[in-house]
Structure 1
Amino acid sequence: MSNNPFVLNQLLHLTNENYQKDANYAIAKIMLDHFHELPQMTIQEAADLCFVSTASISRFVRYLGYSGFSEFKISCEKSIGIEADYSNEVKKAGKEDLLPIYSRFTEQVLQNIEISFKNLDIEQLDRICIRMKSADRIAVFGLEFSSLIGEHIQSRLARMGKIVDTGLDLNEQIEIASRLTEHSVVLLITMEGGYLYRNSDILDILEKAGCYTIVFTINPQIKLLQFADEILVCGHANYNTEARVSLLYEVEMLLMHYSISFFQNH
């Protein structure tokens, strides 16, 4: 996991999901409290901070998928360097700017949802749901907010008797992808296409496996989408993360269609 910039998500996930509150939980919790200091620390300083040995820190970062503490620190620094997903207009907004900004945001969300609805194709949803129903495996790929949507899909489909795999980071997703077959279905979430350009290894695995791939995006014209079997359009704008809302709308439409088709009593 060389220089993975999503290490913050890994630490958050570890503290959220570790109900036993073991040693890894304790280390992750302290590291989160001092996250901005980690890039400047030595492994000894990190060990002292967490009240453990340097060997325990080494085991912890290897557990997260890093080769050592140095690589872990680089990833922390990269993660700190990622700014919020908002435009400069929002970042520099004064109090007098808020109402117009929120008004435009709301209008854009509604336009995105309207576009999603206009692109709604019942026959396409039928095709996708039939594939999902018969799939030997279903996987959801995406990062950051998309991974949270993946967990939502996983939870809802589990209630309808269908197990879904989703990985928090690229290493987990590569491992999941390696188990997929031509009878598997992949839901790939990439609002503006960045996932496609940064993760060619996963795309190569999916193409070789011959998976049935459904892509959620606001940019259906990307050349790299030629491999996709189905594209679900989630609007056209993501200037200030508006597409997150329309993505959830599109996902809910698909889950509703699956439920109506295969889960509810007729």
Structure 2
Amino acid sequence: MKNLTVRMRIKSLYRDMSSKEKLIADYVLDNIKKVSRSSISEISSELGLADSTFFQFSRKLGYNGFKDFKIALLTEEFDPEISIHEKISSSDSEVTIIEKVFDASVKAIEDTKKIIDFDTYKSAVNLMINSNRVTFFGLGGSNAVALDSYHKFLRSPIPVNYASDSHIQIMNASLLTSKDCAFVISHTGTSIEALKIANLVKENKAKLIVLTSYPLSPLAKLADVVLISCSEETTYRSESLSSRLSQLSVIDALFVTIMFKNGKKSNESLKKIRKAISNTKE
């Protein structure tokens, strides 16, 4: 989480925070400037909490302590590249609405890029390359991303599998072996079906890669490798919809990296695919 801003850290962990931690988080997000200029005792007193509670909150976000946390707030406050996303309102014109939706999409991808851990990506690439087969899983909106991933990786030298039906996905998971890899996509990381699939994967000792927006989710805790995507929620467009664009970018990054790592086999696969597809065109 070293590349995450304070806002992004709070957002990614918020759902899994305790009630007191959420109280602090809400206060910080609503009073960035004030918090960055106050002492830990002043803030704790205003919230009716012990100093140690706020200190532990800053540690949970990945900072060494309150001083480190304040420095990050000050940096964020004066960084011109960091701005609070403008929410869409009923008074916005059609042009403004369109611009804000595009801005939210761009920001989701930019935020995801900022938090890239290259070692984690390398681990995911190695797991996929060294597996006998990679099977993509996704439920609901994540199913579309899983399908796109499958469609993309069919062009790679890696044998891949995918099914749209949730029951067939569970059946696929039950047939994985220790030499296979499951790639599960879930924005929340709490889907009952996704967790059932992940548990079957672990029972079969197959490798598990998870792509989610919540690094502390139950699904992420089961994974061998966790890839994080960011999202921006706007009116009538939930986080899960926005997260698809950043998820697709993560998949694209893995795909291109894998294709370049084994150029000869990748080119052979592409030639076969293109030849087969060319026969469908006039």
Matched with 2:250 is 250
Matched with 2:204 is 209
More moved, 97-106 vs 138-147: 97-106
Closer/same/farther in 2, CA of residues 145 and 126 from structure 1, 3 Å limit? same
| CA displacement at 1:98 relative to structure 2 | 3.0
Matched with 2:102 is 106
When normalised by structure 1's length, the TM-score is 0.58
When normalised by structure 2's length, the TM-score is 0.55
In structure 2, stretches of 5+ residues that fail to align are: 1-86, 266-282
Partner Cα distance (2:218, 2:245) in 1: 25
| CA displacement at 1:115 relative to structure 2 | 1.7
Identity %: 20
In structure 1, stretches of 5+ residues that fail to align are: 1-88
**CA shift digits 1:42-93 (9 cap, x unpaired):** xxxxxxxxxxxxxxxxxxxxxxxxxxxxxxxxxxxxxxxxxxxxxxx98x96
Q: Is the 8 A contact 1:218 1:237 kept in 2?
A: no
Matched with 1:219 is 214
Closer/same/farther in 2, CA of residues 100 and 190 from structure 1, 3 Å limit? same
Q: Is the 8 A contact 1:219 1:236 kept in 2?
A: no
Matched with 2:140 is 144
Partner Cα distance (1:224, 1:158) in 2: 26
**Does structure 1 residue 124 correspond to structure 2 residue 120?**
yes
Matched with 1:69 is none
Q: 2:187 aligns with which of 154, 173, 191?
A: 191
Partner Cα distance (1:219, 1:188) in 2: 13
Matched with 1:231 is 226
Partner Cα distance (1:236, 1:155) in 2: 23
Partner Cα distance (1:200, 1:126) in 2: 24
Partner Cα distance (2:219, 2:252) in 1: 26
Q: Is the 8 A contact 1:116 1:233 kept in 2?
A: yes
Matched with 2:263 is 263
Closer/same/farther in 2, CA of residues 156 and 200 from structure 1, 3 Å limit? closer
Partner Cα distance (1:199, 1:247) in 2: 16
When Rg is computed on C-alpha atoms for both structures, the one with the higher figure is 2
**CA shift digits 1:219-263 (9 cap, x unpaired):** 212144211111111114344221111111111111111111123
**Does structure 1 residue 163 correspond to structure 2 residue 156?**
no
Structure 1 ranges of 4+ moved more than 4 A = none
Closer/same/farther in 2, CA of residues 242 and 236 from structure 1, 3 Å limit? closer
Partner Cα distance (1:154, 1:224) in 2: 21
Closer/same/farther in 2, CA of residues 161 and 174 from structure 1, 3 Å limit? same
| CA displacement at 1:97 relative to structure 2 | 4.4
| Count of residues paired in the alignment | 175
Q: Which SS does the other structure have where 1:127 is aligned?
A: helix
Q: Which SS does the other structure have where 2:230 is aligned?
A: coil
